[in-house]
Amino acid sequence: MSTDTNEPTDPIESNDATPAPTKRSAKRRRARRLNGTGSVVQRRPGACFTLQFTDASGRRKTERTNTTDRALAEQLLAQRRNEAERIRFGILDPRGIHHADQNRTPIQEHLDAYIAQCRLRGDSKRHVDQKKKHLDDVLTFTKATQLSTLRVDDVNRYLLSVDALKRGARTRNIVRADVVAFGTWCVKSDRLPHNPWTNVVRADEVMDRRRERRAFTSDELTAFLDASKSRSPDRWLAYFVAVNTGLRRSELRGLRWADVDLDATEPTVTVRASVSKNRMQAELPLLPDVVAALRAAKPTAALPSARVFRVVPSIRRFHDDLKAAKVNNDGLDGRKLDFHALRATFATRLARAGVAPQIAKRLLRHSDVKVTMQHYTKLELADLSGAVAKLAPIVANPSDAQAQSATGTDGVLQCKLQSQRGTGRNETTPRIVEFKTSDSQNDESPARNDSMRGIASSYVERLTGIEPATFSLGS
C-alpha cells in the first residue's frame, strides 16, 4: 500500500516558544512553593545535609547544615517551615528570624566584612590593621564562633588577662572601643538588634598611666629650636611649624605647597581630609613668624604638588636633637617628651594665653573639648601659682571691705536703718537715722556727703519699693 507523500501532515508543536508568564500563573507557582514541605539533600555519602525550603516571602532558599544526622536535619527543616508559617500569619517578627540567621553565620565572616568596610570608607591602613589585630586577639582568647557567643564577661576577662595587663589602661580602652565600634556596626548593618558590648568595663586611665606626655617649658623650647636649627634647618622648620600650628607628624608629611596660602590677607594652612586624622578638612591660621619661615624655605620654582617639608624628623632624630639641646627627657615624674609633645605644647601655650577651650578645641581639631583639656593641656605648678597670685588681697577690717564693695571708693559708707511702723497692713518702712563716712576728708566735703546720702537713699528706696531690690549698671 502506497502512501501519498504530498498529503499534508499535522504540524508538530514546538516547546521552544513558551507562553509569557501571567500574574495569575506567578501567584499559582508561589502558592505551590508555599505549600511545599521542602527537602533534605545529602550531596555525597558522609557529607553534611543541605536544607531546601521556601521562606515566608515565597523565595526558594538553600541552607547548609553542619550535621550528618538525617533526623536532626529534618528537625531543622521542620523548624524553618514553622518559622515561615508564623511569619506569614504575623505571629513572629521577621527581624528576629533575620538576626537568628545572622547569628548562625560565623563571627569571623562578620569581622571580615567590617574590616573591609573600614578600608572602603578611607580609614588609614595603620588604624585598620591595628583594629583588626585587636579584634582577632579578642576572638582568639574568647574562642567565640558566633556573635551570641562573644559575651561581655569574656571580653572583660580578656582585658584583665595577663597579656592585656602588660598594656596601659589607655591601650586597653582602645581595645574596648574597637569591640564597641564593631558592635555598633553590627547594629547599623542589621546583624544585631542591639550592641551587647557597651557594658564592657572601662579601665581607669588616671590610676594606671604607663606613659604620660608633657609639654616643653619656654626655656626648653627655645634651646631645642636653637639646637635643631644649627644642626638641620629642615628639621627646625618642621619643629617650628608643628609647635605653632599643632599639626601632627603625619599631617606635616602630607603637606603640599598648594595647601599653604602665604599671600592672603589672613595666611592659612589647609589640612586636607586625606591626611587628617579625623578625615575632615580644616583651615588653620598662621602666625607672621611661621609665614616668614615658610616663605624663606619655599623654592622659587616650587610646584603646587611638591612637599613643603623635604625632611620630617624621625623619632630617633628628635631624641638626638633633644640631647644636643641638653633637654632632660628623663623626668622623675615619668613624663616624657616626644614629637607629639610639640602639639601638646601648642595646646598648653593657648591655655596660658587665655584662649577659650572651645577655640583651642577647634584649632586642635578635636571632637570633644575633654580631649583638649585632659590630654593636651599640660599646666604646671608655675601656672597655678600665677593664677593664685592674681587674687586680690583680703582687707583686714570687714567693714572696710563692705564699704569698698558698696561705694567703689576708699571711704566707708555707714548707714543705720531704723524700722518705722506704717499706717497700713502693719508695714515697716526703714528710714535713715544716722549717716557718716569713715574717711575724714568726707567731713570737710559737704558735696560728697550729699552724694553718698543720695546713694544711701536710693538703696533705701529699693528696699521699700514694690519691685524686687535688684541692681544694674545703670543705677
pLDDT score of 313? 92
Let me know whether 234 and 147 are in one domain.
no
Quick check: is 441 in a domain?
Answer: yes
The separation between the first and the last C-alpha atoms of the chain, rounded to the nearest angstrom, is 137
Side-chain half-sphere of 36: how many Cα atoms within 13 Å? 21
Q: Residues 76, 121: one domain? A: no
User: Which of 143-147, 181-185, 267-271, 327-331 bottoms out in mean pLDDT, i.e. has the lowest?
Assistant: 327-331
Whether the per-residue pLDDT at 379 is higher than 80: the answer is no
Domain shared by 292 and 178, yes or no: no
Asked, for residue 223, whether it belongs to a domain, the answer is: yes
In contact, 236 and 229? CB cutoff 8 Å: yes
Per the listing, cell 557597651 goes with 198
Alpha helices, H only, 325-376: 341-352, 357-364, 369-371
pLDDT tens-digit series, residues 71-128: 998 898 888 888 888 777 777 776 777 788 888 889 999 999 999 999 998 888 888 9
Same domain, 403 and 380: no
Residues paired with residue 269 on neighbouring β-strands, in sequence order: 260, 284
370, part of any domain = yes
The cell for 103 is: 547569628
Domain count, the chain: 4
pLDDT tens column, 285-314:
999 999 999 999 999 888 999 999 988 999
Cα 279 from Cα 120, distance rounded (Å)? 13
Cβ 182 vs Cβ 191: under 8 Å: no
User: Is pLDDT larger for residue 215 or for residue 454?
Assistant: 215
Q: Contact at 8 Å (CB) between 268 and 283?
A: yes
Do 69 and 120 belong together in one domain?
no
Question: Do 272 and 132 share a structural domain?
Answer: no
Q: Which of 462, 406, 460, 455 is nearest to 430 (CA)?
A: 460
- Identify the domain boundary among 48, 64, 92: 92
Task: Indicate if 289 and 333 belong to the same structural domain.
Answer: yes
* Count of other CB atoms within 10 angstroms of residue 205: 17
Out of 199, 222, 250, a domain closes at: 199
Residues 43-79 pLDDT 10s? 888 889 998 888 777 788 888 888 888 899 889 888 8
CA distances from residue 51 to 43, 85, 199 in whole angstroms, order as listed: 11, 17, 37
Q: Which of 321, 351, 386 is the last residue of a domain?
A: 386
Q: Within this chain, do residues 120 and 160 fall inside the same structural domain, yes or no?
A: yes
CATH number for the domain including 174?
Answer: 1.10.150
Domain span at residue 162 reads: 107-199
Indicate which CATH number applies to the domain containing 333. 1.10.443.10
**Rounded-to-integer distance, Cα 106 and Cα 104, Å:** 6
CA–CA separation, 253 and 378 (whole Å)? 26
Average pLDDT over residues 193-202: 92
The number of C-alpha atoms within 13 Å of 158 and in the hemisphere containing its C-beta is: 22
Q: What is the pLDDT of residue 161?
A: 87
Is 61 inside a domain boundary?
Answer: yes
Residue type, 185: W
The pLDDT value given to residue 34: 46
